[in-house]
């Protein structure tokens, strides 16, 4: 019979950038810009949710909250009744900006629920966490780096989502240029065509393979490796300023892409160029210069 942990459990989960240009719904990168979730079992039934930072005052504070819904799914997976809970979310990952805020919430919810159950890691290992989180999200490209950290390749194999991690050359650095207004993922996905040409599909397959090599050991190839023909151009009506910035940066030799479903622009660069790239943020945008995260989700259990 499982028991619950006394005292709070805190989980931190990194922001993520998916697609990275040609790796549509497959490639992802973890960024050390972390949401933190703290949960504690209490005697009162139900849940009390508080939020600070991103989403404060706008996200629901009841059973509709994404972290809590993910916790419910994890408790069900472990066969444990849902206890009374106090839940606090400290959010720094911007919402609706293509930086994986929903995946961070889902992974945090599943991991914090596991942390609250004694022996939870035996009932649900990291691969099971990934499978559940990817099912909740509907696609694995942000979930994989949020959980495992680093650079990931994720795919669907039959009914299962799978992922693997790959090394990143230490010379590769990241700058995220975040616009003041977001775009919902559903809107961005709705702009994609049902079919693409064989030529575009082949070009993207080649560039995605090249990107694995460029990130791993040949960062001098990042500019050609991040060329995309499958999704970014189709999404321009929803984020014209982002695509304009991507083209301008790439014309200057910088490996700029739309982060995830946008509208954030991600630039893969080196340390010497980070300040220059940050200075290219248009008025009203925010430049985030953040390290690539190697840890993924981290759980701090009470002593």
Q: Output the known binding site for ATP.
A: 94-104
Please give the torsion angle defined by the CA atoms of residues 134, 138, 141 and 144, in that order, rounded to the nearest 10 degrees. -10
List of residues 6+ apart from 284 with CB closer than 8 A: 179, 180
Residue ranges of the binding site: 94-104
Secondary structure (H, E, C), 264-282: CEEEEECHHHHHHHHCCCC
Give the Cα separation of 58 and 103 in Å (integer). Answer: 18
CA 45 from centroid of its chain's CA atoms = 32
| Share of the chain residues as helix, strand and coil, in percent rounded to the nearest 5 | 35, 30, 35
Instruction: Of 96, 44, 49, give the one whose Cα is nearest residue 71.
Output: 49
SS3 13: strand
């Amino acid at each position: 019979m499982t028991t619950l942990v006394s005292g709070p459990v805190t989980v931190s989960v990194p922001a993520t950038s998916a697609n990275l240009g040609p790796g549509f719904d497959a490639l992802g990168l973890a960024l050390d810009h972390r949401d933190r979730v703290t949960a504690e079992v209490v005697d009162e039934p139900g849940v009390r949710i508080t939020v600070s930072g991103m989403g404060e005052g706008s996200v629901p504070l009841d059973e509709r909250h994404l972290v809590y819904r993910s916790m419910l799914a994890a408790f069900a997976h472990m066969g444990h009744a849902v206890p009374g809970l106090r839940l606090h979310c400290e959010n720094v990952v911007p919402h609706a900006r293509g930086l994986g805020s929903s995946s961070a919430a889902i992974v945090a919810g599943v991991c914090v629920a596991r942390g609250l159950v004694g022996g939870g890691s035996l009932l649900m290992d990291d691969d099971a966490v990934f499978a559940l989180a990817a099912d909740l999200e509907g696609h694995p490209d942000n979930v994989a780096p949020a959980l495992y950290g680093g650079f990931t390749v994720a795919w669907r194999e039959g009914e299962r989502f799978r992922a693997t991690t790959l090394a990143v050359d230490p010379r590769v650095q990241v700058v995220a240029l975040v616009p003041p207004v977001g775009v919902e993922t559903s809107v961005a996905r709705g702009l994609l065509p049902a079919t693409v040409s064989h030529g575009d599909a082949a070009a993207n397959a080649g560039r995605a393979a090249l990107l694995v090599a460029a990130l791993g050991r040949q960062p001098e190839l990042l500019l050609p490796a991040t060329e995309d023909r499958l999704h970014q151009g189709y999404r321009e009506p929803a984020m014209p300023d982002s695509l304009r910035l991507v083209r301008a940066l790439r014309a200057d030799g910088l490996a700029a892409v739309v982060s995830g479903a946008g509208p954030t622009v991600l630039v893969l660069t080196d340390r010497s160029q980070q300040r220059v790239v940050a200075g290219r943020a248009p008025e009203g945008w925010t430049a985030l210069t953040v390290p690539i995260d190697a840890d993924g989700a981290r759980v701090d259990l009470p002593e």
